[in-house]
A and B are shown apart, each in its own frame.
Chain A
Amino acid sequence: MTAFVVRRILVNIIVFILIGIGVFLLVRAAPGDPVRMMIRPEDLQEGSEAFIQGRREELGLNDPILVQYARWFLDALTGDLGSSFISRQPVSGLLAERLGPTILLMSTALGISLLIAIPLGTVAAIRRNTSVDYAAAALSLGVISIPSFFLGIVAIYVFSLQLGWLPSSGMSTPGGGGGTDVLQHLIMPAAILGLAGAGPLTRYVRGSLIDELSADYVRTAEAKGGSPARVVTRHALRNSLIPLITIIMINIPQMLAGAVVLEQVFAWPGMGQLAVRAVTQQDYPVIVGFALYVAALVLICNLIADIAYAIVDPRVKVS
């Protein structure tokens, strides 16, 4: 077991380094000169060409690519991801202050997903080919077909502009505040993100519960005199939810993609909003920082998924 975990961690570190190299090379291949990027066009004048060459030399941009990579890699190891071309602030700090809101949004959405998917998937599995089952199927198909940003716009139109129930953007009211204020801002983006995540999760719960319900031990539980509710919750569902941590971990990166888009729609001050702004402004250091954060998140989720799968199931434990 320990050997397995250590091996998985090593593999993930190697992959992370490879992704780092890839991102680094992409940035170097990208059009545009980083030094020119840092200078406002209106400041460009006679003699600035010499200045730019000087800056390039200073920044080491004229060094061999390998040297540049080594320097970048060592800096990144110490947490130094450079500074934003636009705001001149350190990238690590910019990302760190955006991490909290994104985690809040995603964890709330994940909770909503589970609250929808587990009961809905369970009922759909027990009452196959009934209206509940068809509703669950429609939800799954709907959320993979309707873009979440469009749902967001519709939600803003209905709940903010027509009904006036919920704020349409940001994380808190300027000047106002408190937990309920944040909660009101959180509801719409988290609900839409949660709904999107609930689709595949419901399918999973339904499918695996149907498999478990035909298992022999379910018949044993019925033969013992257990009620249908007890047989499902204490026996079948328990078994079908064993890989749940793994399933959740696999879904988190997909949820991140949804969060990036919805943060833009609802002006939620998270990493996604930062990243989209950085991309439109060609703020390479921030884009790179974001890419590394995402890669780390995905790899950590994969790692947890693998390990959890090996640990949680008592059947896997011995073998």
Chain B
Amino acid sequence: MDDNTEPLLVIDDLAVEFRTDEGVVKAVDGAAFTIDRGEIVGVVGESGSGKSVTAMSILGLVKSGRRVRGAIRFRGRDLGTLPAKELRSIRGAEIAMIFQDPMTALNPVVTIGRQIVEALRLHDKRLSKAAARDRAIELLALVGMPDAAARFKQFPHEFSGGMRQRAMIAMAIANGPSLLIADEPTTALDVTIQAQVLDLLKVAQQETQAATLLITHDLGVVAELADRVVVMYAGRVVEQGDVTTVFTAPRHPYTVGLLESLPRLDRDVDELHPIPGSPPSLLAPPPGCPFHPRCPLARDRCRTERPELRVVGNGTAVHRTACHFAEELAAVPTEVTR
């Protein structure tokens, strides 16, 4: 049934707008990238870069926003034009999501077990309650929940944050999805728990062989898990490529800035360089390159002409950037982050 010539998921020139009292907010403005089967892609960017809206748009979960342009094709089908019922048969079955805050993403008045059973039975009507229960307990055990049978009957508030996120992951992989979307899966957790959940995500990915879209602002998470990275800024993709290439030889000044603002063991704290300025207003984005007000390389062309995503470098993996002067960055030696 697959159209094997196209990647699993294609996001093509996606634009999502929100109407507010003050005008139209262009949260996503022409984002484009793809995910192959079994691949882990990290999408990074500051708050307001459009990464979460892009992720939510895949399953049509952006409530007040309006898709004004572009397509999201999954196995060749445009998810935006699918009838509601067909989209629902994909949600939670072929594409599953893991949300940021496990404290609020689970229904507080329904037991963990019933929430997983619901996910199972929604997509397999023939599954008996008893069988669904057994499967749910199996899943809880799989995500490393001790005493899964007892945990099955408990409410979310009886779980710790990390345990909740484990339950959330169990629920997401319940139907063996071919695409997992994890929206800031570790941001709301304690640092010590973050590593455990990341390990679990790795295990879950290996178990299901699901392609994974990892939305995060944490470059460390991307470095650890992802095969490829997509950098977003002001609703657009500004750079993408495989993780090693992008992190060792970034070709967009924003990516360079992100990497330099990262605390590292081989550098003194006073050498941290946060990116000056703040993200642009999405109500009235600056003309030309949206990054130009904060960019050290900015010149006249950047203020008028919007750079398109183009191939750079000469490596084997495809590396793209949306900067007029990417080649100048190539001359600057950047340090390896890993």
Contacts and interface: CB of A to CB of B under 8 A. Distances in A.
Direct A/B contact, Cβ within 8 angstroms: yes
B334 interface: no
Contact of A238 (B93, B97, B110): B110
Interface residues of B, number: 29
Contacts of A314: 108-109, 155, 157
A217 B108 contact: yes
Interface stretch (B115-123, B195-203, B281-289, B294-302): B115-123
A226 B118 contact: yes
Contacts of A222: 59, 61, 91
Contacts of B118: 221, 224, 226, 234
A220 B99 contact: yes
Contacts of A226: 88, 92, 118, 122
A235 interface: yes
A7 interface: no
Contacts of A234: 110, 118
A221 B96 CA distance: 11
Greatest chain B CB density within 10 A among A220, A221, A226, A317 is at A220
B89 interface: yes
Contacts of A239: 107-109
A96 to B, nearest CB: 40
Interface in B240-295: none
A40 interface: no
A26 interface: no
B59 A223 contact: yes
A224 B122 CA distance: 8
B119 A315 contact: no
Nearest to B96: A223
Contacts of B107: 217, 220-221, 235, 238-239
Interface in B133-182: 155, 157-158, 168, 171
A216 B88 contact: no
B101 to A, nearest CB: 6
Nearest to A219: B61
Interface string A198-240: 0000000000000000111101111111110000001100110
Contacts, number: 75
Interface string A80-121: 000000000000000000000000000000000000000000
Given A223-B59, A225-B89, A238 B99 contact: no
B108 A225 contact: no
Interface string A289-318: 000000000000000000000000111011
Contacts of A219: 61, 99, 105
B90 interface: yes
B206 interface: no
Nearest to B108: A315
Contacts of A30: none
B106 interface: yes
A11 interface: no
B271 to A, nearest CB: 38
A238 B90 contact: no
Nearest to A222: B61
Given A215-B104, A216-B104, A219-B61, A225 B90 contact: yes
A318 B159 CA distance: 12
A4 to B, nearest CB: 19
Nearest to B104: A216
A216 B101 contact: yes
Contacts of A224: 91-92, 96, 118-119, 122, 171
Best-surrounded residue of B61, B105, B107, B119 (most CB of chain A within 10 A): B107
Nearest first, the 6 A-B pairs at minimum CB distance are: A225-B92, A224-B92, A216-B104, A225-B91, A217-B107, A223-B97
Given A216-B105, A223-B92, A234-B118, 10 more contacts: A216-B101, A217-B108, A219-B61, A219-B105, A222-B91, A225-B90, A225-B122, A235-B107, A239-B107, A314-B109
9 contacts: A217-B108, A220-B168, A222-B59, A222-B61, A224-B122, A226-B118, A235-B110, A314-B157, A318-B158
Interface of B: 59, 61, 63, 88-93, 96-97, 99, 101, 104-110, 118-119, 122-123, 155, 157-158, 168, 171
